[in-house]
Structure 1
Amino acid sequence: MIQKEVGITTVFVTHDQEEAMTLSDRIAVMKEGKIVQIGSPQEIYEKPVNTFVAGFIGHSNFLKGTVLEKSGDKAVFQLDSGGKLVVPVEPSDSRVQNGKPLILSIRPERIRLTQDDSANTGVKGTIKFITYVGSLSTYLVEVMGHELKVQQQNDADARAFRQGDEVCLHWSAENQTILTE
């Protein structure tokens, strides 16, 4: 507030991502002395340009693989570690093409857990660990050899999950970032 009241430009250098997000109207993320991305805190967090930025600002789950088949708003995604997932995609996204390697980046708070997948729209996994943090819980869910972090508000549904439960992970195409590096 002082900075805005005085109306001066301030350059603040920090490795504390939360501090950078709360104090800044523009952030420059640097790697090895070079600027990788410049933008508002929201742009940097929501639309990182690569895996370095996505992993540096907040936490992100990364799924690396190749698109086997795209059909409408879904794509069959072959993970580099083996296994196939059906994931949501934007039908108009030209980066999602058959045979093209991609990295899906999904923030933990953008994934929703359910115990029922009767609509067959989720990615199946097993809860390996749960950390209760008051208003939310953090789940580590194993999906085809990958450990994905999921954060969910603690409401009546969330309290129903237990370690070892088979669950379905759901996210929309808008809640993932498609990266090429």
Structure 2
Amino acid sequence: MNSQAAIIKDTSTIYYKETGVIWRLSNFFLEQIPFNHPNLVFCCIGTDRSTGDALGPMTGSFLKQLLSFPFQIVGTLDKPLHALNLEEITHKLNSAPQKPYIIAIDACLGNANNIGQIIIHPGPLYPGKAVKKELPPIGEVSIKAIVNIGGFMEYNVLQSTRLHLTYEMGQVISRSLLLAWHRSNLKVMDKSNSNSNYN
């Protein structure tokens, strides 16, 4: 669970029920995520013990179910990535022969008017900040979903977050990532075909 960050350069924000959200969000992902990286990893942070904080692992589970999405997914409802194992798993990922390029996904709290917003920006995510936990930053790109109001009684707020909101936002993020991946593939194929025709 992340607190809503200050506006960062190159930040993209979209409401999860906006018309054409899957396509528009996939545009943002194409701008920010290098799908051709040899060790692209999606770290979906949170716990299945809280309806608000389940956004990350729920998104991870959705991505795992997408058989055509070939990237490593860390953090699912079955095996959450949370405060107790984050440092250990991050260390393992960073010990790989090929340094990972991590996309960090987490829920966050914000203003009442911003509930339902999905935020994408370059740079790390600071998990646990909203509930006053000191955890290491993670990710080269951050994807955050504002699931409820921040500023007071954060644990209670997380527990009282509607599961329907978390579920729907997780679906939007996972479907948009899949579309972005397929669109990235098509671009590579088109470029390859153009080069072949030119030669």
* TM-score (structure 1 length as normaliser): 0.27
Higher fraction of strand = 1
Question: Which protein, 1 or 2, shows the higher relative CO under an 8 Å CA cutoff with sep ≥ 6?
Answer: 2
Larger radius of gyration: 1
* TM-score (structure 2 length as normaliser): 0.25
Higher fraction of helix = 2
